Amino acid sequence: MTYGPALAGGLLIGLASAGLLLLNGRVAGISGIFAGLFEAQRGDKAWRTLFVAGLVAGAAAVALLRPGTFRFDVVRPPALLLAAGVLVGFGTRLGNGCTSGHGVCGVSRLSPRSLIATATFIAAGAITVFVARHLLGALP
């Protein structure tokens, strides 16, 4: 296993989020940026649209250049994936942000709210995997 791509990706995420904060005064929380597209104030929609378009374009470029990157063998029913997506959306609203906003930007600023939110995300993920794998036998 090579750690180069993960390190490069982490550095790019850090630089991009630091740049957005330093140059634009905005926190790179994906759920907040995306939600703001639907409730954006005047003059606030262009940068949000470009940010989300950049996420989609970046993923599309990786999919074209390295086709196996997004391949995974665990297949779940579409209804389960839909329910999971709705729960993630609900959780990001409940937690006033997502892992990118709290975990990347908030923790780096030592925000107490973000430190608690990130610890909660990690704990909830660990509990979910434990229950799904060891109690329900649903994960390999």
Alpha helix (H) residue ranges in 66-99: 78-94
Taking the C-alpha atoms of residue 131 and residue 117, their distance in angstroms, rounded to an integer, is: 21
CA–CA separation, 84 vs 102, rounded Å? 20
Structure tokens at 35: 């939600």
65-94, pLDDT tens digit by residue? 988 887 777 777 888 888 988 888 888 888
Q: What is the pLDDT of residues 1-59, one digit of tens each?
A: 688 888 988 898 889 888 888 888 888 888 888 888 888 677 788 888 999 999 999 98
Q: What is the 8-class DSSP label of residue 25? A: -
Q: What are the residue ranges spanned by the domains of the chain?
A: 4-135
